[in-house]
Amino acid sequence: MSEGIKNVKCYDEGENVRLTFSWPPDVEQVYIFTNEETALATGRLFTLQEYKKRGGYFTCKTPGVCNYYIYASAREDGVDVLCKQTDGLNCVTFVHRVPIDFNLREKVGKYKNYEIMLTAEHPIARSAVACVKKAGSYPQNLHDGVVYYFCEIEPGRPLIRTMRTAAGEYIQLFVAEGFEDLYSLGR
């Protein structure tokens, strides 16, 4: 093989991710992996004909950070063999944060009651979203007040929680630490 895979680009195509890349002139097939393990059974064989027909390689989005590794492949004695590439030009990272829609409704009386409704198109892990309550001003981060974590959110089913605050107390929603690459509040 004269040269390796290069110019790998990743595009957000709605529910899918599209990968494009430059094929070496003497390569007819590649293997695409979503992690660094390169056992052929874990990769997806993709041919130059498929690439041309589809205009790239398409795969479903998965929440979080996904690394794609593309290796040229050759047939030797009827067996596929990966052409190792160490220059890093055959890799790309895609980050898909699942948006979490929220709606805050304030009801004022002796206390302020906030009805918080969270919805998402994908499952949201337990403790991934938190409501922080603070006296005197709005919380600036997850550690700036009293933290209340939400339970998991099922796709398409709103999660409703009511928070009571006294006069001079404020609330704010945050994505919890460790989940920032997976979720985002609002669209």
Q: What is the pLDDT of residues 83-141, one digit of tens each?
A: 888 899 999 999 888 888 888 888 877 788 889 999 988 888 889 999 999 999 999 99
pLDDT on residue 173:
93
pLDDT on residue 2:
57
Q: Tell the CATH topology of 98-185.
A: Immunoglobulin-like (2.60.40)
pTM for this predicted structure: 0.68
Checking if the pLDDT of 187 tops 60, the result is no
Measure the CA–CA gap between 165 and 151, rounded to whole angstroms: 20
Q: Tell the CATH topology of 6-96.
A: Immunoglobulin-like (2.60.40)
**Which residue ranges does the chain devote to CATH 2.60.40?**
6-96, 98-185
| Residue carrying structure tokens 């110019």 | 7
Measure the CA–CA gap between 123 and 121, rounded to whole angstroms: 7
